[in-house]
Amino acid sequence: MANSTEPQAERGHRTIHAGGRWLAASSGATRDILDPADALPFAVVAEGDEKDTDLAVAAARTAFDDGPWPHTPVAERAALLRRVADLLVRDRERLGLLESRDAGKTVEEGRVDIDCVADAFRYFADLVAGEAPGRVVDAGSPEIHSVVVHEPVGVCAMITPWNYPLLQASWKIAPALAAGNTFVIKPSEITPLTTVALIDLLVEAGLPTGVAGIVTGPGHTVGARLAEHPDVDLVSFTGGLVSGTKVAQAAAVTVKKVALELGGKNPNVVFADACETDEGFDTAVDQALNAAFIHSGQVCSAGGRLIVEESVRERFVAELARRARKIRLGRGTEDGVECGPLVSEQQRAKTEDFVASALAEGAVLRCGGKRPEPSPERPEGGYFYEPTVLDQCHREMRVVREEVFGPVLTVETFRTEDEAVALANDTEYGLAGAVWTADAGRARRVAGRLRHGTVWINDFHPYLPQAEWGGFGKSGVGRELGPAGLAEYRESKHVYQNLAPKPVRWFTG
């Protein structure tokens, strides 16, 4: 068996980690990992199945029931998380490049992701280190000592998506470890490499054997087994609505805790007064581009619905389309590239289908809507698609209702504040949204009325690890990040101590 500190490049396809060992799949199956910029394989991983999943869960169960981690002092757990953050900083360039090649994003985006991952580990380290050991409850008597304490849930199953592989993994792993849990993670089968690398860093930082497990493999085998497994105490899933519903159904059989982050259809509301000055107009247009086209729109909080006041629509959309045409597409590792490919041929085909349906339903194409011509920085086999702006859209269009997860921006218009709010809330999702206005009172009113888990005012996309992330409606249940993100990985226990026990005499016999 491979040693747990063996570098990934030398480990080859042994990417299943269970009980402190790196293993090949029990079936011997492997999967090629493709670079989405040219569709060529550049790594090989194990293709695990239910048997491998059972092995990893058993190791995590033993580590939780019999190992030291759940009982390790909080200060020591926090110190380990800080060591992990330091290792992430040390390996920033290597991991940023790996994230770029794996997911197709630019190297600079990959580097920023690594910074955010390190921030998450540091935040949860500081959060648990600064907590009181328990919440004292006033029982109304000096003879009673009553306290509510928090304990780890147990074995946590984590299922993460392909768009932000390491970032989404860290939002689950960091609070789970801070709380004293063990875990088994299943990264997306098409972007698993940085999550595998993170397991190496956890081991290097000194995490006890068996606490961290990973099974690389598909959702219908590995993910499904994790969700239903009787020895798993919590399942945390980030991904699509259909898959998330299946996870919740499977988890319900064993009544385990469930946390689901299921994406969104996020409105970016622009009032005319935000565009009254040249600077305001330029900023709002620039941020609308960022909202829709960062990482080729493959972001759960992407501002893919531009809802702009009618009086400035034509000027705004014309400038938006002009700038969108100039976005430099290419391989994320190339200097000067601003936007990479989609993650897979399947994702590009899905995007093309959305655009075709929108045009058939009456949308007006302002730019994009096709694959770009191949070039030295855009190999012919890559999954590239031009940033696309669709004007004159309405709520009945499929492209407006459903999550595209591609570089597609739809444009709707409004005349009144009430109409803007109604449009922004007219979605079955509720993850994030933004309002652009120079009127401070309007900003607060609209933000208060939007039914979305995060609302930005005159900004789009930033998040803070100390602020909860999650959504309303079909965007999911539970929260990641912030104190509530830590609470997801804990159970509350009330300890009631009678300091002067005496007979109750309820029964007289």
Which residues are the active-site residues? 261
Structural contact between residues 174 and 146, judged by C-beta atoms closer than 8 angstroms? no
For residue 100, what are the CA distances in angstroms to 62, 87, 95, 230?
36, 19, 8, 36
Report the distance separating Cα 385 and Cα 382, nearest Å. Answer: 9
Report the distance separating Cα 345 and Cα 140, nearest Å. Answer: 65
Q: In DSSP terms, which residues pair with 151 in a beta bridge?
A: 491
Tell how strand 267-270 and strand 257-261 pair up. unpaired
SS (H, E, C) 4-63: CCCCHHHHCCCCEEECCEEECCCCCCEEEEEECCCCEEEEEEECCCHHHHHHHHHHHHHH
DSSP state of 221: I
Q: Work out whether the CA dihedral 132, 133, 135, 140 comes out positive or negative.
A: negative
The H or E element spanning position 188 is none
Structural contact between residues 393 and 400, judged by C-beta atoms closer than 8 angstroms? yes
Which position has the token pair 């991991």?
A: 95
Which among 227, 298, 297, 284 has a CA at the least distance from the CA of 260? 227
Residue by residue, DSSP assigns 120-171 as: HHHHHHHHHHTS-S-EEE--SSTTEEEEEEEEE-SEEEEE--SSSHHHHHHH
Kindly report the number of other CB atoms within 10 A of residue 139's CB atom: 14
Structural contact between residues 316 and 308, judged by C-beta atoms closer than 8 angstroms? yes
Contacts of residue 244, defined as CB under 8 A and 6 or more positions apart, other chains included, come to 237, 260, 262, 476
Instruction: Retrieve residue 324's tokens.
Output: 């969108």
Report the distance separating Cα 121 and Cα 261, nearest Å. Answer: 20
Residue 305 dihedral angles phi and psi, to the nearest 5°: -110, 100
Report the distance separating Cα 26 and Cα 51, nearest Å. Answer: 7
